[in-house]
Amino acid sequence: MNSEEIYRLLEPIIKTYLPEDISAKEINRNSDLTRELNINSAHLVDIVLDIEDVFNIEFKNEDMESLRNVNDAISLIQQKISG
């Protein structure tokens, strides 16, 4: 699965947890999940759980530490599904 395919599946997951004051148009590959998209830590956990379900993978605590922006999520997902 390439990064574009992953992004197409990831974007609606992130969109679900955006606060009301953030537009879905603001989501891009470089978007910082907590700073730019204003996603709180509880919703970040929900995003991770949804990602695990959609991609049939499992994140570890150390994976969460490197999850800062959308590209980080794509990279982590690629590592998990390929390895």
Query: What residues does each domain of the chain span?
Result: 3-82
Residues of the chain by 3-state class (helix, strand, coil), percent to 5: 60, 0, 35
DSSP state letter for 32: B
pLDDT tens profile 13-50: 999 999 999 999 999 999 999 999 999 999 999 999 99
Phi, psi (deg, nearest 5) at residue 32: -75, 125
Structure pTM? 0.92
Domain 3-82 has CATH 1.10.1200.10: yes
Q: Supply the pLDDT for residue 13.
A: 98
What average pLDDT does this structure show over 54-81? 95
CA angle 77/80/83 to nearest 5° reads: 140
How far is residue 3's CA from residue 40's CA, in Å, rounded to a whole number?
25
